[in-house]
Chain A
Amino acid sequence: MERLKLATVWLGGCSGCHMSFLDLDEWLIELSTRVDLVFSPLADVKRFPAGVDVVLVEGAVANEDHLEMVRAVRARSRLLIAFGDCCITGNVTALRNPLGDPTLLLQQVYGAGVGREGVIPSERGIVPTLLERVLPVHAVVPVDLYLPGCPPPAPRIKVVLEGLLAGTPPELLGRDWLKFG
């Protein structure tokens, strides 16, 4: 049987969801025999490839790099899983939204730098411009499956991946599955 092409992506978030993925612990050894990890911050492929079967997307869309990335991810993946609360609602990453224009925020944060006052990180092509508002991923591209949690506990991740490997995507219903935080 063809091995499942699995990818993981990290947008604006804390990496806690990826750490929870690693909390699959020794089940990762079994997983490694059943999937090809074709793109991930844990791996060295630099471009998101075409023909991905399942992608776990952690984090919210906070800057132009994230926007470009998530559109490419959607176009090249069959099943996109919103992986964790930041991806689903914006969560902690979106806490900056009520403060308004990020340009002002950057001026506040970097304008007072002790060494070089008034220098705002902005180099084109290097430092991505912040979006005016942090967006959940479903506000940018369609999502196929929502896996909530801050982070989603490893046993929940395992159930989802086992279902996908068996060819039956799980229906996430009820309290245990729709629990945020």
Chain B
Amino acid sequence: MGQRIVIDPVSRIEGHAKISIELDDAGEVRDARFHITEFRGFEAFCVGRPLWEMPGITSRICGICPVSHLLASAKAGDQILAVAIPPAAAKLRRLMNLGQIIQSHALSFFHLSAPDLLLGLDSDPARRNLFGLIAAEPELARGGIRLRQFGQELIAALGGRKIHPAWAVPGGVRAGLHPEQRRELQARIPEATAIARDALERFKALLAQYDEESRVFGNFPTMFLGLVGADGEWEHYDGSIRIVDGAGAIVADGLDPASYQTFIGEAVEPWSYLKFPYYLPAGYPNGVYRVGPLARLNLCTHFGTPLADAELREYRQRGGGTVNGSFFYHYARLIEILSAIERIAQLLDDPELGATRLRAEAGINRLEGVGVSEAPRGTLFHHYRVDEHGLITHVNLLIATGQNNLAMNRAVAQIARHYIHGPQIPEAMLNRVEAGIRAFDPCLSCSTHAAGTMPLHITLHAADGTVLDEVLR
């Protein structure tokens, strides 16, 4: 009988998880799994609540990326109201999402993973954290704190608070950006840009040192999925779904995000509260795909901002075109921060931001809506059905991190097989397994507090009570 090692809890990630590693009699890794141990059931308890409450409730799925849920929820609401929101509102929503990408990516890189990368995977676990980083690399740590703060302050400038702002609503947004706050944010752009560029240089200088890790930290071909703009540009708020394979060939393009259930399926395993989404035409588990920064950089033709485009060219040279190594998630994240800063600078100069019409007023005009955005960790889907009073009858949330579940499990097995040869297992080797997971930056608050498709018997009624449609699932 072999041995089982359980890493509990996996630390410096956003959520509750364990990793189990099964060894055979010879002490070699037979299998390894990534288990998510949290469940909250949002899709169940949101049923019966008014559509208007959904942005406020679903933002509480996650304290790290509340803005992603806020926006996806508001966009699903836009669909149900059947309105086109005022152009300034769309720009302001984009602005907040960019702030969100910066603060979340900064958290992942500086607060959570830099202790591995800069203090060392073999360093003392008692010091291998943000406080240890502050002591050893005070300038870099301060920069990371200030970069995250920049994103958070942008969110607060628009939404009135940094975490869980009740700001985006079905039909638009509640408030614009005060000119004084706009100037304050503009004044911080040069510093934020400098911090992001410094971090990129630091990371690139580390690549040679982490050559072994980058070869085995979840390095295998999969498909990649995400939103792209009309001309294939990097996109975070709108656009259509593109899927490419591990060699960069387009598998599907121009997919309407609202029809996600025709191309994404979900599987369940007994050892995790997190479901396993897969590309439906390829079946389970062959339909493994990745989302998030690595995917977005593989999918887009260009960023559309000069500094990030120059970095993207270098990134592709270093990674060999379409990048399959998950260690490059860190690298992709830093380039996305840079592009987000460039885009924020452009938006803050846009005179249309000062418009006063920010919300389309309407009632319930459709009984179903799908809202999609790119969360920091990947494509996020909020799918609601309502009755004619706007009360929720069905919720399905497809969360970014969940879509990386299959790939994260493969990564854990790949790393464990490479580094672990029992029976004695040094802590530093177990930390490598965790560090491989950290590269994906999983957000388990999100993924499991929401997992699942509710089986429901739904009837759609016309205003006069006749049954228009009936669905059993």
Contacts and interface: CB of A to CB of B under 8 A. Distances in A.
Given A14-B62, A15-B14, A127 B37 contact: yes
B267 A113 contact: yes
Given A42-B129, A62-B40, A114-B265, A151 B270 contact: no
B9 A46 contact: yes
Contact of B270 (A22, A111, A122): A122
Contacts of B267: 113-116
B45 A29 contact: no
A1 interface: no
A150 B60 contact: yes
B164 A28 contact: no
Interface string A113-141: 11111011111011110100000000000
Interface residues of B, number: 73
Contacts, number: 206
> Interface residue tally of chain A, by bracket?
35 or more
A155 to B, nearest CB: 11
B278 A115 contact: yes
B271 A23 contact: no
B64 A15 contact: yes
B131 A99 contact: no
A99 B134 contact: no
B121 to A, nearest CB: 11
Contacts of A12: 38, 40
A42 B132 CA distance: 11
Given A23-B163, A42-B129, A126-B18, A116 B66 contact: no
B102 to A, nearest CB: 14
A150 B164 CA distance: 8
A14 B161 contact: no
Nearest to B443: A15
Q: What 7 pairs between A and B have smallest CB-CB spacing?
A: A16-B63, A115-B267, A113-B268, A109-B452, A43-B129, A112-B455, A44-B125
Interface of B: 6-9, 11-16, 18, 20, 35, 37-41, 43-45, 57, 60-64, 66, 107, 111-112, 125-126, 128-131, 134-135, 138, 141-142, 145-146, 148-149, 152, 161-164, 265-273, 275-276, 278, 284, 431, 445, 449, 451-455, 473
